Structure 1
Amino acid sequence: MLLQALKDSQIMDNEIKKLMIPHEKVAHVQSNNPLDHALLVLIKSGYTAIPVLDTDYKVQGQISKAQILDSILGIERIEMERLHDYKVDEVMSNKVPRMNQNETFGKALMLSINHPFVCIEDDEQSFIGIMTRRSILALIHRHLGK
């Protein structure tokens, strides 16, 4: 019933480019940044995970607070002094949902089930923004609330 309501509203065919948060407004880190920098960006942004990019703005993966804390977890305490010993690319996950800017909302919805955000790329695979699970759910709510 819900799926049929979404299909009837034509929301599934919307292009995601119109719905994404542009890269200028997205917190991210580079793969060669130290973990202390990544943790600072995550804390300041309030996000639990952010994209990891290379110097050419290509998506390399994602990094989360949990991954960072797990990497410095000692036997008896969290070893904060080790944060600067690691680079983001040593801890990040390479599995990050991504899609082309011209693909439809239906794909973004499916990818967001298991991820807090979906990276959006242009035709040259350069990072141009994200769609968050929150923005996806807000759009669905607006369409179903009519």
Structure 2
Amino acid sequence: MLDLTNFDLSSIPVKRDMIEAEKVAHVQLQNPLEHALLVLTKTGYNAVPVLDLNGRFCGIISKSDIVEAMFGIEQIEVDKLYENTVEDVMHSDVPTVSEHDTLEKALHVLIDHSFACVLNQDDEMIGIYTRREILKQFRNEFYEQQSK
């Protein structure tokens, strides 16, 4: 049985285990939807961060956002992939965490999202924190307790 009474979620900083921004697939506001769909398809991700030209976080775009944008009244309108930009269909109201937040806050965000963008004080994305990282923390705590 995993005993989490001594596992202090409020003492582990998000920044310690985040994936650095340089390693994160993303798109920019003015990219056409075609480009975003290619990035999502080639990486295998369902969603990626959207950044402006200065690296500031603007939102998230997903495959389902793009597909939904292509639906016309009676048919799928593939031309919308070339006519619309990421900014037209992205979601900007997504939760983020700051570089100073702890695993406790990230846990609350990641209940409903597969990743959270980690922002600095200037809203620049410095990385992402994923559900996978949270699960690894719990796994490591479990194995640590098993070895005692």
The TM-score with structure 1 as length reference comes to: 0.90
Match of 2:70 among 69, 72, 75: 72
Amino acid at match of 1:128: I
**1:118·1:131 contact (CA, 8 Å) conserved in 2?**
yes
Amino acid at match of 1:56: N
**1:11·1:143 contact (CA, 8 Å) conserved in 2?**
no
Map of 1:109 onto structure 2: 107
Map of 2:119 onto structure 1: 121
Which structure 1 segments of 5+ residues have no match? none
2:27 and 2:52 map into 1 onto residues whose CA distance is: 8
**1:52·1:63 contact (CA, 8 Å) conserved in 2?**
yes
Asked if 1:8 corresponds to 2:9, the answer is: no
Stretch moving more, 109-118 or 76-85: 76-85
1:21 and 1:58 map into 2 onto residues whose CA distance is: 16
Map of 2:85 onto structure 1: 87
SS at the partner of 2:49? strand
Map of 1:62 onto structure 2: 60
The TM-score with structure 2 as length reference comes to: 0.89
Cα deviations across residues 60-116 of structure 1 (Å, max 9, x unaligned)?
110000000000023454322320110101100112221111111100011001111
Displacement of 1:41: 0.5
Cα deviations across residues 111-131 of structure 1 (Å, max 9, x unaligned)?
001111111011222110001
CA RMSD of aligned residues (A): 1.7
Match of 1:23 among 1, 21, 24: 21
2:119 and 2:5 map into 1 onto residues whose CA distance is: 25
**1:96·1:119 contact (CA, 8 Å) conserved in 2?**
no
Task: Quote the sequence identity (%).
Answer: 43
Displacement of 1:28: 0.4
Map of 1:98 onto structure 2: 96
Q: Which has the greater radius of gyration? A: 2
1:6 and 1:40 map into 2 onto residues whose CA distance is: 42
